[in-house]
Amino acid sequence: MSFLFRTLCAVIGAAFLFAVANLAISGLPERGQAMEVASNESAPAPNPAPNPGSLLDLATSLLGIASSQPIEAPLAVTPIRAMPVAPAAPATALASEIEADWRAWMATHGLSDGAMVVLYPDGTMHRAALERASDASFPVASLSKAITGICMDVVLQEQGLSWYTTLGDIAPQMSQVRVTPQPWNARISLASLANHTSGLAPDLTQGTMGNVLHGALGLHRRIASEALREENMQGTPREFFYNNTNYAVLGVAIEALTGQSYSEACMARAMTPAGITDATIHGRMGSRSSYGGWEMSAESYARLAQHWFTNGAGLVGRPFDRPMHANYSLGYEIRDRGTSAQVSHAGYFCEGDNSGTGAYFHARGDGVVFSANWSGSCAAAGDTGLGQIIAGRM
């Protein structure tokens, strides 16, 4: 112990002698002297004079006693300025052109109630609205199918299953939700339901039966059960026939595999990862749940699409790992891959009095997304040219 004490005293003594010698030569520096952070525009600063306090602090730290330099007296520092963000002029021009196209399309079809956004990769957003806010929730109709497809993709990964799992393969789980596969439908794969090649026809959600069935939550189970009856399988397997009942069956399969309601399962797996909190399924539109029942804002759908369809996400990075028929995949059409991917879908619901509601989205693999919704006359983006116009811009 005495040896250690003598050593420490020697260190302190040396520090003291060095400090005294330094004071005799150069004098003490002024307190509070400002220190500037070097930048590319400034000349290199000369090395600062030795600070006697630093040597004393080193010695006293060895002894475990308090430093002589007060912590509450920091040096004045000139902050480093952040690099300015470069303006995205091409993207701004793109948004202006898309807005002009959208307004012209709305006027052509007598629509005066709608909203649209263009979302950029950096999270900034161009908004346009007519009689409604772009952050207000409205039905998205068949854009719900992409939500169901994304949700099922996550469920299958969780369960270690493939898209080529058949209804017969999951018959015990399906029976738990009272939609038991039968010999004539047991070979239908989840993939064929997703890309509309299952052979289910006609579409029981259309016409009179649709009006009777719609009106309460959870009716996708009844529609699925009816669609899987032998007399309602009038289509040709492996041939494309766009049919809402395919996604009604997928909604039941999601419930069967997760043990949750469709809305709970897909809110957790599709919405929450994308940061979406305002999406809902309720009321009369909610009865369409897995094929047309979601409601959310144009802004939220754009964020949802950006999360799932930007390069880096498997859905666009490896699109052929998922079911696809003539560019139709999991509730959306997709062309190309990676940053070159173009993903889109349209949806609308038409009432008997020719009034209706519609929605459309188009996402690029580089993170640019267009999303819109509207109501008024029966105007579908796919049938009236809006989809082609936006695709031409994107």
DSSP, collapsed to helix, strand or coil, labels residue 161 as coil
Return the minimum-mean-pLDDT range out of 134-138, 141-145, 214-218, 352-356: 214-218
Q: Given this model, what pLDDT does residue 378 score?
A: 83
Would you state the pLDDT for residue 92?
78
CA distances from 40 to 34, 37, 46, 165, 190 (A): 19, 10, 16, 61, 60
CA contacts within 13 A on the Cβ side of 14: 9
Q: Which is nearest to 361 in space by CA: 312, 319, 313, 306?
A: 306
Q: Which residue has 């060895």 as its token pair?
A: 62
One-letter amino acid identity for 110? Answer: G
- Out of 71-80, 212-221, 245-254, 372-381, pick the least confident: 71-80
CA-CA distance, 301 to 143, in Å (whole number)? 9
The listed CATH number (3.30.420, 3.30.450, 3.40.1620, 3.10.590) that belongs to domain 88-136+297-394: 3.30.450
Residue 213 has a pLDDT of: 53
Q: What's the pLDDT at 40?
A: 34
Poorest-pLDDT segment among 106-110, 239-243, 313-317, 378-382? 378-382
CA atoms within 13 A on the CB side of 298: 28
Contacts 24+ apart (CB under 8 A), 82-90: 85/122, 88/120, 88/122, 88/124
Taking residue 184's Cβ as centre, other Cβ atoms within 10 Å add up to 12
Q: What is the pLDDT of residues 299-354, one digit of tens each?
A: 999 999 999 999 998 899 999 999 999 999 999 999 999 999 999 999 998 877 77
Q: Is the pLDDT of residue 160 over 70?
A: yes
**Which of 24-28, 245-249, 286-290, 366-370 is predicted with the least confidence, judged by mean pLDDT?**
24-28
Count, residues in the chain: 394
Summarised one tens digit per residue, pLDDT across range 362-394 is 999 999 999 999 999 888 887 788 999 999 999
Task: Quote the CA–CA distance of 337 and 350 in Å, as a whole number.
Answer: 33
User: Which residues touch 119 (CB under 8 Å, ≥6 apart)?
Assistant: 125, 299, 302, 303, 306, 367, 368, 369, 370, 371
Q: How many angstroms separate the CA atoms of 218 and 145, rounded?
A: 16
3-state secondary structure of 36: coil
Mean pLDDT of the chain: 80
Continuous H helices in the chain: 2-26, 52-63, 89-108, 144-159, 171-176, 190-194, 207-213, 220-227, 244-258, 262-266, 283-286, 289-292, 298-309, 314-317, 381-384, 386-393
Distance CA 298, CA 139 (A): 10
For the stretch 347-351, contacts whose Cβ atoms lie closer than 8 Å and that sit 24 or more positions apart, written own/partner, are: 347/140, 347/141, 347/142, 347/143, 347/144, 347/145, 347/292, 347/380, 348/141, 348/142, 348/378, 348/379, 348/380, 348/381, 349/139, 349/141, 349/285, 349/288, 349/292, 350/378, 351/378
pLDDT at 351: 78
pLDDT at 62 over 50: no
Dist. CA 228–CA 213, nearest whole Å: 16
Residue 360, pLDDT > 80, answer yes
* Residue boundaries of the structural domains of the chain: 88-136+297-394, 144-281
Of residues 125 and 208, more confidence is placed in 125
Instruction: State the average pLDDT over residues 189-210.
Output: 88
Confidence (pTM): 0.76
pLDDT digits (tens, 9 = 90+) for 20-33: 344 343 443 333 33
Q: Given this model, what pLDDT does residue 219 score? A: 75
Q: Regarding predicted confidence, which is higher, 249 or 222?
A: 249
- Short-list 214, 203, 359, 354, CA closest to 286: 214
How far is CA 18 from each of CA 8, 22, 31, 53, 295, rounded to the nearest angstrom?
15, 6, 20, 11, 76
8 vs 82, more confident = 8
Q: Which of 139-143, 147-151, 212-216 has the lowest mean pLDDT?
A: 212-216
Three-state DSSP at 325 gives: strand
Q: What is the 3-state secondary structure of 251-275? A: HHHHHHHHCCCHHHHHHHHHHHHHC
CATH superfamily assigned to domain 144-281: DD-peptidase/beta-lactamase superfamily (3.40.710.10)
> What distance lies between CA 290 and its chain's CA centroid?
18
